[in-house]
Amino acid sequence: MLAYFSSLSFLTLLRALPGSVAQGMVWGIMALGVYITFRLLDFADLTVDGSMAFGAAVCVMLIRGGVHPIVATLIAFLAGMVAGLVTGLLNTLLGIPGILASILTQIGLYSINLHVMGKSNQPVSVDNYPLLVSLRYVTGSAKSRAFFFLGMVIFLVVLICVLYSYFGTEQGQAIRATGCNPNMARAQGINTNFIKVLTLMISNGLVGLSGAMYGQFQGAADVNMGRGAIVIGLAAVIIGEVLFGKWTVKRKAAFGWTLGAVIIGAIVYYLVYQFVLWLKMPSEDMKLLSAVVVAVFLAIPYLKEKKSQRKGAKA
Amino acid sequence: MSEEKYALELREITKVFNRGTVNEKLALSGLSLNLLPGDFVTIIGGNGAGKSTMLNAIAGVWPVDSGRVIVDGTDITALPEHKRALYLGRVFQDPMNGTAATMDIEENMAIASRRGQRQTLRRGVSAKEREFFRERLASLGLGLEERMTSKVGLLSGGQRQAITLLMAAIKKPKLLLLDEHTAALDPKTAAKVLEISDRIIEENQLTALMVTHNMRDAIAHGNRLIMMDEGRIIYDVRGEEKKNLHVKDLLAKFEEVSGTEFANDRMMLG
Ligand SMILES: Nc1ncnc2c1ncn2[C@@H]1O[C@H](COP(=O)(O)OP(=O)(O)O)[C@@H](O)[C@H]1O
Ligand SMILES: [Mg+2]
């Protein structure tokens, strides 16, 4: 026991934390995508596991082929949108239930990603290419670290502002109405099928973007890198809601703060992840832990309601 | 083209649910109905008579098996639900159904005020629209104009139905469809919402179909009354004749035509 504690070096943990924060920021973009489908559209979209890796594969292969990382990252965003389009059409045009439609896209993307990369893993080194993000910027000099985080924060703030404005437009309102009450939306002339497809495209575009950034960040695209991404995204959404839910609703521009809370949720997730690793718990168990945490927090509102209903019935 | 232009023509509408299964149900059986512009028709009938199904057939919730739906001279039978919304205003029995709970009052109204238009990337609620909505809400006399940025989910059922009515009428639809829209409310609130309905129909000179489970309301409101049974219209009165009706006349009529008693039905006599 004593030996176990003395083997834990606090300094090691401290040194690992900036990397975890950076990773949380990158995955936070994916979590925004999950938030948009899961909370705004009320659609459980499992496409993300595939579109995350798709974004990474497309971006890394383009960079290796000489395309500038900025352009490659933007194309990865479009690639993610195409993945969302496929799920949307399977669901709305062919009538396949949402979850199943998204699983079909996800499975199909696994093969496509292998084709894109030619094998299961492709490196892209920051030594050879001017990557937008990289773990090496974080572990490097204090100046490069400050520069990296400043850039990331600005990018995320701009992204949140864009999303905030978008969901306040006529189109954004149509998305929220469709997610909240599809019958009302149709009665008010909203083409809910079109809106679903559009939202899935926006969401998976963000996931593809996140994948592209994560591929650069870790210096490689891997066909398995999106596995379980949906659970991480949900965990980030839920952590954000649990930590800041009460606080955000009272704010002006509450929706913008909620999006910010999702990013912070992702950062907290990776800080906890690092902490668990530091405790020398096997990292394989992290997915199980995440799944349990997500299940518990998704169940809480339901159980609360059931309890209050039972109370109401007694009264 | 008919000589007179009807606000609504239903021609021989048939709808069968669950065709070919043990649950097969003929819900509309060659139903025809013509409404003149400005007609305000109340609809009564027993549970399962096909009243909601008729309104859903007009609204395009699902395609009908045969027949035509013609609104203001335009055949809309082939249009999907969201495209028919341009012609229609709808209020449902469940107050939760007509509005988006997680959105502001003004956002709900803004969505309704764009019915039939493409959603652009313009701001969802403009300052000019806000003033218009404020004035519309103030006309309800419920104080909702002071709560325009409240989430609709925080409102009572009656307040939600009142807002849904405003939303339904905001684009002056060719036809207003009210499906037992006061049935889920307490009697006092129901009376208030009915009064608002009357006023909105009158002010905008709307053509309206109102399903109600309350015979007295059916007699007191509108200029025409129809009774449905087994997917058909079994009784149709208008004008003076309707005004002079009594609840007992309707009961007698129902027993005469359908051969069953109303007493064991959900229908309310009072
Ligand atoms: N979507 C549906 N699927 C299957 N059966 C339906 C559906 N809607 C209505 N029905 C059936 O059609 C009949 C008429 O229903 P409805 O129009 O709702 O009656 P009401 O006059 O009480 O409004 C009922 O037998 C009902 O069970
Ligand atoms: Mg009904």
CA distance A164 to chain B (A): 11
Per residue in A127-177, pLDDT tens? 999 999 999 999 999 999 999 999 999 999 999 999 999 999 999 999 999
Query: Is position A4 within any domain?
Result: no
Per residue in B63-102, pLDDT tens? 999 999 999 999 999 999 999 999 999 999 999 999 999 9
Nearest protein Cα to ligand 1, atom 12:
B27
- pLDDT given for residue A300 in this prediction: 84
User: Which ligand places an atom closest to the C-alpha of B50?
Assistant: 1
Q: Does A114 have pLDDT greater than 90?
A: yes
Find, among B223, B231, B218, B209, the residue nearest to B87 by Cα. Answer: B209
Question: What is the DSSP code (8-state) at residue B97?
Answer: G
Q: Under DSSP, is residue B244 helix (H, G, I), strand (E, B) or coil?
A: coil
Containing H/E element for B209? strand B208-211
For A64, counting Cβ atoms within 10 Å of its Cβ (0-12 exposed, 13-18 middle, 19+ buried), the class is middle
- pLDDT given for residue B260 in this prediction: 66
- pLDDT given for residue A290 in this prediction: 83
- pLDDT given for residue A259 in this prediction: 97
Find, among A43, A29, A50, A171, the residue nearest to A103 by Cα. Answer: A50
Cβ of A184 and B97 within 8 Å? yes
For residue A207, give the CATH number of its domain: 1.10.3470
Which one of B103, B114, B116 has the shortest CB-CB distance to A176? Answer: B103
Find, among A86, A81, A30, the residue nearest to A207 by Cα. Answer: A30
- Listed in sequence order, the residues at least 6 apart from B257 whose beta carbon sits closer than 8 Å to its beta carbon are B227, B229, B234, B235
B246 touches A: beta carbon within 8 Å? no
Interface A-B, measured as beta-carbon pairs within 8 A, has a size of 84
Å from CA of B52 to ligand 1 middle: 7
Q: What is the ipTM of this complex?
A: 0.91
- pLDDT given for residue A233 in this prediction: 96
Query: Is position A5 within any domain?
Result: no
- pLDDT given for residue A314 in this prediction: 56
pTM > 0.80: yes or no: yes
Distance CA A292, CA A289 (A): 5
- pLDDT given for residue A111 in this prediction: 97
**Contact residues, chain A, for B90 at CB < 8 Å:** 187
Neighbours of A303 (CB within 10 A): 10
Which one of B92, B111, B120 has the shortest CB-CB distance to A188? Answer: B111
Q: What count of Cα atoms within 13 Å lies in the side-chain half-sphere of residue A298?
A: 14
Per residue in B209-265, pLDDT tens? 999 999 999 999 999 999 999 999 999 999 999 999 999 988 888 888 776 665 544
Cα angle B249, B251, B253; round to 5: 70
CA distances from B7 to B13, B43, B75, B82 (A): 17, 17, 11, 19
Query: Is position A265 within any domain?
Result: yes
Query: Is position A262 within any domain?
Result: yes
User: Which ligand places an atom closest to the C-alpha of B94?
Assistant: 2
Query: Is position A167 within any domain?
Result: yes
Nearest CA in chain A to B107: A173
- Retrieve residue A162's tokens: 């864009």
The answer for A 174-213 residues in CB contact with B (under 8 A) is 174, 176-177, 180-181, 183-192
Q: Does A49 have pLDDT greater than 60?
A: yes
Q: Total structural domains in chain A?
A: 1
Q: Determine the structural domain holding residue A22 and report its residue range.
A: 10-314
Per residue in B135-180, pLDDT tens? 999 999 999 999 999 999 999 999 999 999 999 999 999 999 999 9
Containing H/E element for B10? strand B8-17
* Secondary structure of chain A in HEC code, one letter for each residue: CHHHHHHCCHHHHHHHHHHHHHHHHHHHHHHHHHHHHHHHHCCCCCCHHHHHHHHHHHHHHHHHCCCCHHHHHHHHHHHHHHHHHHHHHHHHCCCCCHHHHHHHHHHHHHHHHHHHHCCCEEECCCCCCCCCCCHHHHHCCHHHHHHHHHHHHHHHHHHHHHHHHHCCEHHHHHHHHHHHCHHHHHHCCCCHHHHHHHHHHHHHHHHHHHHHHHHHHHCEEECCCCCCHHHHHHHHHHHHHHHHHHHHHCCCCHHHHHHHHHHHHHHHHHHHHHHHHHCCCCCCHHHHHHHHHHHHHHHHHHHHHHHHHHHHHHC
**Contact residues, chain B, for A189 at CB < 8 Å:** 82-83, 85-86, 114-117
Query: Is position A2 within any domain?
Result: no
Query: Is position A1 within any domain?
Result: no
Q: Does A289 have pLDDT greater than 90?
A: no
Query: Is position A185 within any domain?
Result: yes
Per residue in B102-125, pLDDT tens? 999 999 999 999 998 999 999 999
